[in-house]
Amino acid sequence: MRYEQFVFRGVTREYFGIWIVNVLLTIVTLGIYSAWAKVRRQRYFYGNTYLAGSSFEYHARPMQILVGRIIVLVLIGGYNLIINIFPIAGLIVMVGLLFAIPWFVMRGMRFSARVTSYRNVRFDFTGGYWGAFLAYIVGGMIIYMSAGILAPLASQWMWKYQLNNLRFGDRPVLCDPRVDRIYTQWWAPAILFVAGAAFLAAIVGVVGFYLFYELSDSFISDSDNDMSIFVIVALIYAGMIPFILLYVVCSLIYTAGVRNIVLNETLLDGRHLVASHISRWRYAGIWITNTLATVFTLGLARPWAAIRMARFLAAGTGLYATTSLDEFVGAAQQSGSAVGSEFMDVEGFDFGF
Amino acid sequence: MASEVSGEWRPPATSRATPACLSMRADGVITVTAADGGRPLATAPQVTVEVSARVGQIPRRLSFPDGGQFETADNDGVDALLAPFRRKGVVHGLERFGPRLFVFVALVVAFSFALYRYAVPVLVEVAVAVTPPIVSELMSKSVLVSLDQGVFEPSALPAERQKTLHDGFSELTSLTPRGKLKVTTTGSPAYSLNFRKGGFIGPNAFALPDGTVVLTDELVDMAGGDDELILGVLAHEIGHVDREHSLRQLYRAAGVTTLILLIGGDIGAGAQDVLVQGTAVLALSYSRSAEREADRYSVELMHKAGRDPAAIARFFEILRDRLGDKGGNDMLSTHPATPERIEETRRYAEELQATGG
């Protein structure tokens, strides 16, 4: 059995050039170039991700993506228009959307898989509608209604849907993570969140109470009332930021832990074992420092941040190959439409293998 | 004999690779031969071979019509080989790291600013201009219906008081371009004044984009007998309708969010969220500049109608005094009753009276 490590060979300065040109041309073309930008970006990241000496390739065509983006923007625009024009009818539309999301997720995953290849063999995704409905809609609802206690169950559904339906050429991927194993990654972030939230609530309560009574008079009689609204908004944001940060840290730790558990229970072609051993805390740390760096440099640090994260994830992922990885045979597939894929993209979902 | 490029050859739909060389004849036929021994593996005219565009240092792939693939890390070699037939990638040329990228950074900053400052407002104006009146009517009707169901009760104002205010309102609207039409293209009135008991909304007046203006009993009570004050407030609401503030705000938010989403893929999820939140704060300042515009509109319209242009300032004074008493009110969020606003409307009223006689 040979261990093959994923390696990411992207370089920050090289990607900076690609990135700034992407942004520039996207702005100049009022967004139209964003489809071409996405293809170049994805090709750079896939093409620099190596396993056993070969890199991945992204084959989507910009026109497919552009059409997908236009359809999705029209849908989002129409949705916003409807909920603004008929707030009551908006409820019905919202329920409709709930049933439409699994379809978008399914199509998006199929598209992403079919435009990805490794050693000239394409991936494919065979997941159906109800699997996506269970994983994303029912899963999302049980997380919400159980206040996060059932999150590991939802995670199990989601990962099983994503990985069990994945094909590499004609070979299946098998993924069967046990829920109790996922729970081992749940306790630490759950306890951290409850304790942290209680602590923050106490601080915010005391400080807020004091500020409100001290400052409320001066707000009203302040000669510049415009400023006071900004102060109030700023205070609300300042009070919320620690909570959001706590929540983000906890979910990142959980996400990274689940990734390790799930990928370590995943088999390619019944014999090659996937391996993931990323440090949960470093993952959270890198994500947060990346976001802070990006925001405080007005976006300019984004190429550095993206390369850094790709390197980190690749270095923590590998494959125990029992035989040579040369044995795969492709099964040609049409890639289908990009609509679903663009929905996930535009809405900020970030899936990947 | 052109130069050769070495790489790997993969036959159609298999992952097994053999070391190979790529060469091209002068007539444009590409040949792949095995690296050991020169056994030919594939041959095709260059027009039928798909060459992946150059992106950074990632391997180039030449896909042959039968599905076979030649892969090489020698990007320059491929470009040199294909030079007689194909242009080098323009975009890749731009992307190369160098001092030029600093110019691009400056351009991105300048364009982002210009887009936000000039392009978005223009697009908003276009969108407002092409929006059929039926859209704002549907929007307004639906809002009023839900407010009537959830918040409002029928007005308890005496009929003659309603009539007096109504007459004043009609007189004001007849001085506006929209009011001169009497009815919109869809046949509904250009402006209509509606009386309601405000419930928890309290003393308030607001305008819906189709010209429906709602006035609460509580505001009429608060004004005492000062009908000019009420008309000043109504003129402010007419200003919102005339300047189409709600539609503008809607399109503006939609336009900015769309831009962020389109560029967002290259910014990253976390930073994208921060940006969307940031524009929400900016929207607040935009809505306050709309309030100020409506204030000036009120002063102008009242002046035009031969009424007291500073009437709305008296409304702000009442608000200020009441807020001072109670120490907090929902009014704060929608209509900041600032001394600055009082001062500004008074100043503008005096200026108008001085110049316009």
- Region of A237 please: left (phi>0), alpha (psi -120 to 50) or beta: alpha
- Tokens coding A51: 């396993």
ipTM above 0.90, yes or no: no
CB within 8 Å of B85: residues ≥ 6 apart: B28, B46, B47
CB contact under 8 A, A21 and B104: yes
SS3 B199: helix
Separation in Å, CA of B104 to nearest CA in chain A: 7
Residue A122 one-letter amino acid:
R
B94 CB neighbours in chain A (<8 A) are 17, 21
* Chain B residues whose beta carbon lies within 8 Å of the beta carbon of residue A124: none
Chain position carrying tokens 């923590």: A316
Listed residue (A31, A125, A40, A82) closest to A346, CA to CA: A31
Chain A positions in Cβ-Cβ contact with residue B288 (cut-off 8 Å): 226, 229
In order along its 357 residues, chain B shows pLDDT tens digits of: 457 888 999 988 788 888 999 988 888 888 898 888 778 888 888 888 888 889 988 999 999 988 889 999 988 888 888 888 877 778 888 888 888 888 998 998 898 888 888 888 888 888 888 888 787 888 888 888 888 887 888 888 888 889 999 999 998 888 888 877 767 767 778 888 999 988 777 788 888 888 889 898 888 888 888 888 889 999 999 998 888 888 888 888 878 877 777 666 666 666 777 777 777 767 777 777 888 889 899 998 998 888 888 888 888 888 777 755 444 444 444 445 567 788 888 888 888 888 765
Instruction: Return the residue in A20, A41, A116, A171 with the most chain B beta carbons within 10 A, the one to mutate for interface testing.
Output: A20
Contact yes or no for A24 and B96 at CB 8 A = no
Q: How far is A240 from chain B (nearest CA, A)?
A: 12
For residue A329, give the DSSP letter. Answer: B
> Cα dihedral sign for A36, A42, A43, A48?
positive
Number of other CB atoms surrounding residue A167 within 10 Å? 20
Residue in the block written with tokens 């890639």: A335
- The set of residues, in sequence order, having a beta carbon less than 8 Å from that of A35 and lying 6+ positions away, is A62, A63, A65, A66, A69
Chains A & B: contacts with CB separation below 8 Å: 207
SS3 A353: coil
Task: Using CB atoms, pick whichever of B98, B262, B332 lies closest to residue A26.
Answer: B262
pTM for this entry: 0.80
Nearest-angstrom CA–CA distance, A346 and A76: 10
* CA distances to A212, A213, B330, B337 from A218, in Å: 10, 10, 17, 14
Structure token pair of residue B38: 């020169």
